[in-house]
Structure 1
């Protein structure tokens, strides 16, 4: 070895020593609390054991992937989002060198300000004072995000860049409104995914948990992640915590009628007398019906039975290959068939109806068909839970109805039906923070167990949809908004014109609903021609509907004046505390107060009543 080589080697050693000292000094300054908790050399064997466990879990998963075909990834084509991100970059000010220079200058100013507050910056220090962070976000409310300079710097920089990215979308000139909304959504999805809370090394709570448990949280978290990858769906609640008919969907009743598309459940009365006009509920055909029968305390079905109503509910069958050719006509015919069976079974001239969400949309079309045929007297009233007929302001779901998305739906619909997990992933993306990243942090990174929550169990109980009908629904209603154009659509050979509907209607919307925005729901009042009562409930798409009076939660607003818009309605509305259910039952009783004895076929499953099976039936259990 030459002298020059010796000198060079010595120089390298000095540089490494200096770098090690600098790194240690930086670590101590930026992460003082974490530095004290780092494992000592004697604990390295335990950490190596954790690494081996993680490796073994991953290798086992990879072997299972090769041996068996795991469910497909239920998320959109990543190439599409990468392409959109690339277009966004080139169209946005982010590609402008002047804007890049401004972003860099803003970042340096933020870093200098924060470091000075922690007493380690190059300028005048402010150590000893509680840091004054310029941006707040509930994801970073934990004191751990501000107690150490590194984590404060990371999350404040993230929030600043997020603001810049969102502002860029609004500043792009010449962009069509629908394209701008798509870019807003894609930007929000990207921002939420890149939150420092979602990564173990930049989340102080995860790092602290990892050090405390010596990595056991990461082992549990990887087990949760791999389990979800195997089933092709994010888990939201404790597996096995709920069983249909045992601790959810437990209101007593019988399946009294069945077709290849639906089962009809009638519930057992609990009052001696019942209203003569029965109630028939059409739940969403994209979800399981028992959202209205989760448990006895918050079951709308049970409550309605206790109010003296004879209650029927349709339980839609999850689609399979045999249902590939179903269209809107089939669902409208199914609703008419269910109405006729209830009328015939109880020998009554008409029924009260409820349509929830997309089933409410279909119910409106059914009413229009019956009105055109002069058979609408069969419906005593129609109640709409968060249902839309005018999709001009339909919210974020409109982002998924362009030609590219519709083509993707077609590609994903193997065997003629769309796997419900794709729909679940779509709805989860609309509330990514609550329904995706919250679980990534808690269950994948922190290694926590899942909560036992019946609503989350229902949310994960996906339903397959007939591909042809689903595509037509997105194209004709969400994209082209044809339902509100008289005679633009038809069903079972009958043109649909909503303005022919004169049936009394009770229209409920949720003030915070992101799936069926209140402005969109309110627009139904522009198209129907019968007496209407519009009610704006507190909360959103689920909690705004499933809000039993005993819970004493939220509120609702009533405005008896004729209003041209939701804003005008809100401006003159009177707020009422609690649930809107009592207001609804008073409205129902006012339409027909006559009662009859709860006997004969009012009690399903009697000696002379041959029923198919007990509630909740078998269709709700099909996957």
Structure 2
């Protein structure tokens, strides 16, 4: 995407952009190739075919036997009969009554059959196998009996009790949701959470603004502060205030209250004018520019650098580049759900191959950026039951609204991705895995994570669909430096917003000393004891142990060195739509 297109290439780009628009930026060639690969190999695998035939016969016999036992039981005992398959999709007792028990068991058996059919097929390329298995699962979910009023006993019972009023409320909910989507408005309830009023409210000042980001310095609330400031680098795929949500669950507010000088980057929401922003721009004008400002405001102090998601990947790149300098500027590095090795990136890899990336590039060449709804659509597909089907049943069939919370409102406040940067990110990191292979260039020199010597606090979350914790854990074999690894309950976002006092939070933590022996993630998970509570307190203790004695807080900004106060937090970039 860096060089000008020739006339014929421009013609192709326009055609591919139209093709992308017609297919919701999901490459049909990629899908067709995957299915052809699977089907052609299954066609020459008679053993696999016999196995699937045997499985279908056994499932039929199992279902028939269950229904026969059901009808032989006394009427009041029938729902107590354990079905062959149990799923959270059909947990209500009404699903064990005829004919709904037959419907849900048939559906679950079909799921199992297709899972077996689309996996472990001889000769199928692994990526194609994953795409086919995922596609079959998505296709089957459409036909789940729980998705339709006439085959869902819970909906039928509610409709009977309310005389259909629930369906009327559901229609109102659907019209409201459709209207909001057409007019590109946030979901209902989001208006309760206003940036700068009840979310992103930690007091501070903007001390730097450039083409890529604003840098916020937060106002100290303690008489003394640790001499080493904390710099937070969030992902530009999201707005930074997930780390400064409501006052009770703000990680930034927590750090400030514990005596730290905190700086945070707030990325600009890119449009067509920013189409040429590159990964290097985010590094130079983002991370490195922020470090320059901090050095002017808090001179002579090393920084506790913290990166979240893609911001953590950028931080790892920057830290490896700084490791070559005589003064590396960083006291420590903390990475939250951030991947540094992309050889096993998890379910997002379903949407990343040469055909898919090329189609995205053609679309972004036309618009200048990747739209937020395109990213949101991919994430929703990864959790289609939770994000799509269950919500449709609850809101449109049962007529109930989901109670909006601050995390959900933040999630709806989406951002875009500049074309050049996103192309480089997908190709250099996902497709080529340059960072973990020592091929990633900063300037004209490759960097290596093995050069890292600073202590690392590395957090993964158990239910992460974006950066699976085993992928996050791979940092252990990319560098011999000291790593304190935390495996926290929750997902990519909820596992990080884990304030002290939050109920049902758990984590595991262990430190591998510098030069220590490697342990597999499976061994680590099964041997490290689980602890109750928030990992934030462990991180604070880790930072304290690597910080100096408290001293007087620095001023907000440093006008005399070119970093005047430009306005109040949360700044103006965060408000861009």
The structure-2 alpha-carbon separation of the partners of 1:127 and 1:319, relative to structure 1 and needing over 3 Å to count, comes to same
Partner of 2:390, secondary structure, is helix
Quick one: distance in 2 between partners of 1:613 and 1:621?
14
User: Helix, strand or coil: the match of 1:392?
Assistant: coil
In 2: Cα distance, 1:348 partner to 1:595 partner = 15
SS, match of residue 382 in structure 1: strand
TM-score for the superposition, normalised by structure 1: 0.80
Conserved 8 A contact 2:145-2:152: yes
Contact 2:208 2:563 in 1 (8 A): no
Higher mean C-alpha deviation, range 299-308 or range 232-241:
232-241
In structure 2, relative to structure 1, the CA distance for the partners of 1:351 and 1:77 (3 Å cut) is closer
Indicate which of 549, 554, 566 corresponds to 2:521: 566
Map of 1:23 onto structure 2: none
Q: Superposed, which structure 2 residues align to 1:204-215 within 5 Å? A: 204-215=153-164
Offset from partner CA, 1:418-471 (integer Å, 9 cap, x none): 001111111122122212212111112222223121111111211100122112
State the distance in 1 between where 2:197 and 2:303 align: 30
1:526 and 2:477 are equivalent in the alignment: yes
The 8 Å contact of residues 511 and 537 in structure 1, kept in 2 or not, is answered as yes
> Paired residue for 1:327?
278
Q: Call closer, same or farther: CA 1:258–1:538 in 2, change over 3 Å.
A: same
The Cα offsets for residues 29-76 of structure 1, whole Å up to 9 and x where unpaired, read as xxxxxxxxxxxxxxxxxxxxxxxxxxxxxxxxxxxxxxxxxxx89955
Match for residue 315 of structure 2 among 363, 378, 383: 363
Corresponding position of 1:256: 207
CA distance in 2, matches of 1:346, 1:537: 33
8 Å CA contact 2:35–2:132 kept in 1: the answer is no
Per-residue deviation, 1:154: 0.7
Cα shift at 1:79: 4.9
Cα distance, 1:381 vs. partner? 1.2
State the alpha-carbon separation in 1 of the partners of residues 244 and 342 from structure 2.
29
Task: Quote the residue 2:546 is aligned against.
Answer: 591
Counterparts of 1:165 and 1:418, CA distance in 2: 33
TM-fit CA distance, 1:372: 2.7
Deviations 1:379-434 (A, max 9, x none): 11111111111111221111221112112322442421000111111112212221
What's 2:10 paired with?
none
Sort the Cα spacing of 1:576 and 1:116 in 2 relative to 1 into closer, same or farther, 3 A: closer
The 8 Å contact of residues 483 and 511 in structure 2, kept in 1 or not, is answered as: no
Residues in 1 aligned to 2:82 and 2:185: alpha-carbon distance in whole angstroms: 37
Distance 1:330 1:82 in 2: 34
In the other structure, the counterpart of 1:459 is 411
The answer to whether the 8 A contact 2:216-2:265 is kept is yes
Aligned length in residues:
543
The 1:564–1:110 alpha-carbon spacing in structure 2 relative to 1, beyond 3 Å, is closer
Q: Residues 176 and 83 of structure 1: is their aligned pair in 2 closer, same or farther, counting only changes over 3 Å? A: closer
1:166-185 residue pairs with structure 2 within 5 A? 166-185=115-134
The counterpart of 2:83, out of the listed 112, 133, 155, is 133
- Residue 601 in structure 1 maps to residue 553 in structure 2: no
Confirm whether residue 393 of structure 1 aligns to residue 347 of structure 2: no
CA distance in 2, matches of 1:503, 1:101: 57
Aligned-pair distance for 1:201? 1.6
In structure 2, relative to structure 1, the CA distance for the partners of 1:81 and 1:132 (3 Å cut) is farther
TM-score (norm 2): 0.86
Write out per-residue CA displacement over residues 350-374 of structure 1, whole angstroms, 9 at most, x where no aligned residue: 2111000111111111112222344
Q: Unaligned stretches of 5+ in structure 2?
A: 1-20
* Pair 1:622–1:190, CA change in 2 (3 A): same
| Contact residue 117 and residue 129 of structure 1 kept, 8 A | no
**Secondary structure in 1 aligned to 2:200?**
coil
Which residue in the other structure is 1:4 paired with? Answer: none
Unaligned runs of 5+ in 1: 1-71
- What are the Cα deviations for residues 455-492 of structure 1, in whole angstroms up to 9, with x where unaligned? 11111211100122112211211121111122x12123
Q: Distance in 2 between matches of 1:272 and 1:400?
A: 50
Q: Secondary structure at the residue paired with 1:353?
A: strand
| 1:501-540 pair list within 5 angstroms | 501-540=452-491
Bigger CA radius of gyration: 1
CA distance in structure 2 between the aligned counterparts of 1:78 and 1:235, rounded to whole angstroms = 28
How far apart in 2 are the matches of 1:513 and 1:74? 27
Which runs of structure 2 are paired with 1:431-510 in the superposition (5 Å)?
431-486=383-438, 488-510=439-461
Distance 1:107 1:540 in 2: 34
Q: Which moved more, 1:400-409 or 1:301-310?
A: 400-409
1:221-232 maps to which residues of 2 (within 5 A)? Answer: 221-230=170-179, 231=181
> Per the alignment, do residues 394 and 79 of structure 1 end up closer, same or farther by CA in structure 2, a change over 3 Å counting?
closer
Go from structure 1 to structure 2 and tell me whether the alpha carbon gap of 1:459 and 1:533 turns closer, same or farther (over 3 Å shift).
same
Match of 2:220 in 1: 269
Map residues 243-392 of structure 1 onto 2, 5 A cutoff. Answer: 243-333=194-284, 334-376=286-328, 378-392=329-343
Does the CA-based 8 Å contact 1:372-1:494 persist in structure 2? Answer: no
Is the contact made by 1:371 and 1:500 (CA closer than 8 Å) also made in structure 2? yes
Q: How far 1:212 sits from its partner (Å)? A: 3.9
8 A contact 2:149–2:397 mirrored in 1: yes
CA gap 1:73/1:455 in 2 versus in 1, 3 angstroms: farther
2 CA distance for matches of 1:211 and 1:576? 46
Match of 1:188 in 2: 137
What pairs with 1:159-170 in structure 2 (closer than 5 Å)?
159-170=108-119
Preserved CA contact (<8 Å) 1:84 1:183: no
The answer to which of 223-232 and 180-189 deviates more is 223-232
- Give the match's secondary structure for 2:154: helix
Residue matched to 1:56: none
Deviation at 1:127, TM superposition (A): 4.9
3-state SS of paired residue (2:556): helix
- The Cα RMSD (Å) is 3.0
Cα separation, 1, equivalents of 2:392 and 2:186:
10
